[in-house]
Structure 1
Amino acid sequence: METYESLLTAITPPAGTATRPILNPATGGTVTAAPVHTVEDLEAAVEAARAAQPSWAALSHQERSQVLLDTADAIDRSAEALAQLLSREQGKPLNGPNARFEVGACSAWLRATASIELAPEVVVDDGETYAEVHYRPVGVVGAIGPWNWPMMIAIWQIAPSLRMGNTVVLKPSEYTPLSVLALAVVMNQVLPEGLLTVIAGGQEVGARLASHPAVGKVMFTGSTETGKAIVRSSADTVKRLTLELGGNDAAIVLPDADPRAIAQDLFWGAFINTGQTCAAIKRLYVHADIYDAVCDALTDVALATPMGIGTDEQNLLGPLQNKQQYDIVARLVDAAKESGAKVLVGGNPDPRQPGYFYPTTLVADIGNDNPLVAEEQFGPALPIIRYTNLDEAIELANGLDAGLGASVWSSDRKQAHRIAERLQAGSVWINAHGRINPMVPFGGTKQSGYGLEFGVAGLKALGVPQVISG
């Protein structure tokens, strides 16, 4: 079992290694120094992964699954230390759907992935022809992770890759390398050597990972622009890709919904991780008949939800993780205010407060073409758009290039399902938003990316299909 202090020691770079300080976004203080790995470090990691992969792939699915289960147990034993580090580096509070939740999700996801059955598929058996599909390992998987859910999304990439017999070289975000380095320290207490290596480098390391001829697949979660760059970098080696890119998720509330009954779920659908979630509600369309009631109910929830330093046990919302994201949120809210939109709560950051705290902000009476609606804010600011015609609301919801998630809120589930079928998003939830499940495929449409994660589909995406006939 690791303690917070022992984790810091374990991820401390050796003497002579280039480092840079990682700051706590809630206080501005230094958490510790992170290594600055180089392209040469990446080359060594890829070579080690390539050397380790054949013996790992030679094990059965059941044997590899047992290793994943043992690794999940190791994470559980060090869960509190990992959560403490995550809270300090990323900024998210310990409690609520935040740091402790994220670490718990890591072990739970490993166990769920280990339990998925993936037998050969018989596609023809007519007495004359017999054919079945098998899935073989890709080889070395390159994973590139984000800063918003650094540990959990790393596991989304690692777990199915290892289960399928691949090895993994992972580059975390430059904003949150410590969390992923520490997670790897814990996992590598169980995993055979060479299976998982974290390279905490910069943009040049990511570009080389995406173009490396020994890397058979790249998994990436992050911005659409970076995803496009990865597509370009991977083209010469015709890599397989899974890209989960930016989202600007719409939620449509029908006039038969109960504002008070849905307020909590609506709020957390938008503000989980202080709004720093790809598949969070970014645009809320509410029918005019209940518009004011929904605004009032959401305001009450916002005022009752504490924001502050993540390691203070009472807080449920934290800071923006970095100044760049803080500036984006501030710019978009300012544009909304200048347009005449009505700020129901928030929108007034305290310049004297340390850290990147932006108050929980709800903006009403706003036009659909306002930048706060049209651009992904990725923070604690939610525009609430009034509509009267449902067809027009669906058209507005579908009007952007993003298509990661969406949701419909109604007391009539059949009607909600009919509307869901008309929404252009990879996942559509009914009376919820962003509730992912390790057995349910997840992926985007349009410029929110392509490829599926989770469940059987996610395992297949980490394999190479081979058809055997005869």
Structure 2
Amino acid sequence: MSTYQDLLAAVTDPSGREILDPATGEVVGSVHESTVAELDDAVAAARAAQPEWAGLGHAKRSEYLHRAADAVEANAEALAELLSREQGKPIKNGPNAAFEVGACAVWLRANADFPLEPEVLVDDESGRAELHYVPLGVVGAIGPWNWPMMITVWQVAASLRMGNTVVVKPSEYTPLSVLGLIHVLNQVLPADVLHVVPGGGEVGKALSEHDGVDKIMFTGSTKTGQAIMRSAADGLARLTLELGGNDAGVVLPDVDPQAIAGDLFWGAFINTGQTCAALKRLYVHEDVYDSVCEALVGVAQQMPMGNGREEQNVLGPLQNKQQYDIVAGLVEDAKQGGGRVLIGGDPEPDQPGYFYPTTLVADLPDDNPLVAQEQFGPALPIIKYSDVEDAIRMANGLDVGLGASVWGSDPDAAMAVAQRLEAGTVWINKHGAVDPRVPFGGIKSSGYGLEFGVEGLKSVAASKVISR
């Protein structure tokens, strides 16, 4: 079991680039910036280790994943503190740093235990045909800064279970968190099965176009996902892309506003709104519009924001200045466009850290930038509608389709709307609730490919038919 100082010392390069705490501006540690040559070495080592790893078989690899989960749990406090200091999220309160570290262990165990037997396609007098799933080789995993540890495990766990080796490239904003996680995992995994290569865009591009990489998994912006597709084209690397969201929620007229307000709030403001599948635009029927707005304000007033190491806080800062400026600019657009700020919208000018207050903006038209663009932060636009057909049209009107939600008391009515919303996942009376057993992925410009569950295992494997 490592202390925070032990873990930080293991991943910090004193001569590297400084990483700052987004809550205070203080230095957390320093990270070595890898070169493309170092990336080449990591890919070569992973490729050399892959046949032996694949040869262990599912049962033995699953044992290793359970050992990896044990290691995460044994080092949970140190990992959570490193994550909080680098990413900004509170350590314990709400679904934040301790939650994220715990989810890493949950996903490792789940992927270890999913059954994956050959599928019998034909078995009659003509013969027998079976569909098997075999390793691809080396997986390149490129992760984001919002849930850096958890999303890395989403990519790594399934890939390792299926017999691939993995080279991880973390976000430039949160490399220490991922370095810490992989340091812990590599204490129990065989040598060279899992590598991490921190660096900038040049390293990410080199990984996505590397001829020694058989699959790229990427979570991040649509623009970067498109660039990865272009880079991977020549080598025909397979892709799983989980891209931008801007998820819509539709509130039907039969809801109890007080009963849903808490879940609505956390659907939108989990991780201070910095979640791909967070609720980012809320369409509310005119019959309950004022009541829903009032109930949400009541919940927001009870949610303290501040430094994640201070026990009372449940919301932290935005992770970086660039994202802070995006959120601030979109809220200003909303004000100029006639939006009514119910709470927030006025950050303290001299406060240290990238804290933008929890903000609810009502009475916006559907084409306002705060509605039409993904804010990825603590600002939720609330749009009134009178006809559910209009709500469905507006919800489907953007070229995104990661998640969506419907809120209502009548299960049949909610299901009817859910079936018409264009998204990879539609939740009813909740939003953003992912489960390692349930496949997850987007449509439209929110990407393609599935993660989680047995389908997630298949996505990091090659299909192989054996007929006799």
State the TM-score, normalizing by the size of structure 2: 0.99
Structure 1, unpaired ranges of 5+? none
CA shift for structure 1 position 128: 1.1
The Cα of 1:129 is off from its aligned counterpart by 2.4
Confirm or deny that 1:74 pairs with 2:104: no
1:269-307 deviation line (CA, Å, top 9, x unaligned)? 000000000000000000000000000000000010010
Residue 289 of structure 2 aligns with which residue?
291
Which residue in 2 is equivalent to 1:432?
430
Shift of 1:267: 0.1
Q: Counterpart of 1:188?
A: 186
Distance 1:141 1:313 in 2: 39
2:230 is aligned with 1:229: no
Q: What amino acid sits opposite 1:54 in the alignment? A: P
2:374 to 376, 380, 391: 376
The counterpart of 1:61, out of the listed 58, 61, 68, is 58
Looking at structure 1, the residues matched to 424 and 127 of structure 2 have their Cα atoms a distance apart, in angstroms, of 36
Question: 1:210 is matched with which residue?
Answer: 208
What is the CA–CA distance in structure 1 between the aligned matches of 2:368 and 2:360, rounded to whole Å? 14
Name the CA distance, whole Å, in 1 between partners of 2:134 and 2:293: 52
Could you tell me which residue of structure 1 aligns to residue 309 of structure 2? 311
3-state SS of paired residue (2:288) = helix
1:240-319 counterparts in 2 under 5 A?
Answer: 240-319=238-317
CA contact (8 A) 2:12 2:176 kept: no
2:323 aligned counterpart, secondary structure = helix
Deviation string 1:245-269 (CA, Å, 9 cap, x unpaired) is 0001000000001100000000000
Partner-residue secondary structure (3-state), 1:215? coil
Q: Deviations over 1:330-368 (max 9, x none)?
A: 000000001111000000000110000000000001110
Identify which of 329, 335, 341 aligns with 2:327: 329
Question: Whole-Å Cα distance in 2 between the matches of residues 60 and 167 of structure 1?
Answer: 13
SS at match of 1:208: helix
CA distance in structure 2 between the aligned counterparts of 1:96 and 1:257, rounded to whole angstroms: 25
Q: Map of 1:160-179 to 2, 5 A cutoff?
A: 160-179=158-177
Unaligned runs of 5+ residues in structure 2 are: none
Is 411-420 or 273-282 further displaced after alignment?
411-420
State the 1:12 CA deviation.
Answer: 2.2
Shift of 1:414: 1.4
Q: Tell me how far 1:127 sits from its aligned partner.
A: 2.1
Trace 1:19-34 onto structure 2 (pairs within 5 A): 19-34=16-31
Stretches of 4+ aligned residues off by more than 2 angstroms: none
Partners of 1:127 and 1:261 in 2: how far apart? 59
Alpha-carbon shift at residue 126 of structure 1 (Å) = 2.2
Structure 1 residue 449 and structure 2 residue 412: aligned?
no
SS state of the match for residue 237, structure 1?
coil
What is the alpha-carbon distance in structure 2 between the residues aligned to residue 309 and residue 12 of structure 1? Answer: 22
With the length of structure 1 as denominator, give the TM-score of the two structures.
0.99
Distance 2:127 2:341 in 1: 67
Number of residue pairs aligned between Structure 1 and Structure 2: 467
- Separation in 2 of the partners of 1:355 and 1:159? 34
Check if 1:6 corresponds to 2:6. yes
Counterparts of 1:299 and 1:438, CA distance in 2: 32
* Percent identical: 67
Letter in structure 2 aligned against 1:6: D
| Deviation for aligned residue 1:72 | 0.3
d(CA) in 1 for partners of 2:349 and 2:100? 30
Alignment RMSD (CA, Å)? 0.7
AA partner of residue 36 (structure 2): V
Deviation at 1:96, TM superposition (A): 1.1
C-alpha separation in 1, matches of 2:403 and 2:126: 44
